[in-house]
Amino acid sequence: MGWEIGFDSNWNRDIGYGVPATCDEPGCDALINRGLSYVCGGEPYGGESGCGLHFCAAHLLYEFTVEDDVSSAPQRCSRCCRGEPPCEPTPDVRLWNEHKLTHESWAQWRSENVDEVERLRVLVSQERRFR
């Protein structure tokens, strides 16, 4: 199974290495994708030890003890390392929203999700107005 594009029902957003995004760390605008390389927990949806949000390399940590096998230590965000609740996820980037609104591969999704399509159209038009 590939992880290019999927959906995370925990965070109600698209995930996968085919989904361009920004780091979920508040205040960070690093461009990443929502693939496994950037997910807190190192596994889809965060696995057993992560929140499932996506972070740039500067905001993913490896926490392990001397007894741990370093190669199996999961990557986690600082909040998960401290046992705190996750931060708020960042919104989808404009490039991804425009792709969903225009690319032929999303035609069926658009026909099945009319309300979401309208929400994205409004969002994209507002983003263009403020740039």
List helix spans (H) across 6-113.
78-82, 94-102, 107-112
The per-residue pLDDT for range 32-41, each reduced to its tens digit, is 999 999 999 9
Given a cut of 70, whether residue 21 has pLDDT beyond it is yes
CB atoms within 10 A of CB 29: 10
Predicted confidence band of residue 131 (pLDDT cuts 50, 70, 90): very low
Using the 8-state DSSP alphabet, how is residue 85 labeled? P
Q: What is the mean pLDDT of residues 99-110?
A: 96
Report the chain's mean pLDDT, rounded to a whole number.
90
In the structure encoding, which two tokens stand for residue 90, read together?
């960042």
Identify which has the larger pLDDT, 44 or 10: 10
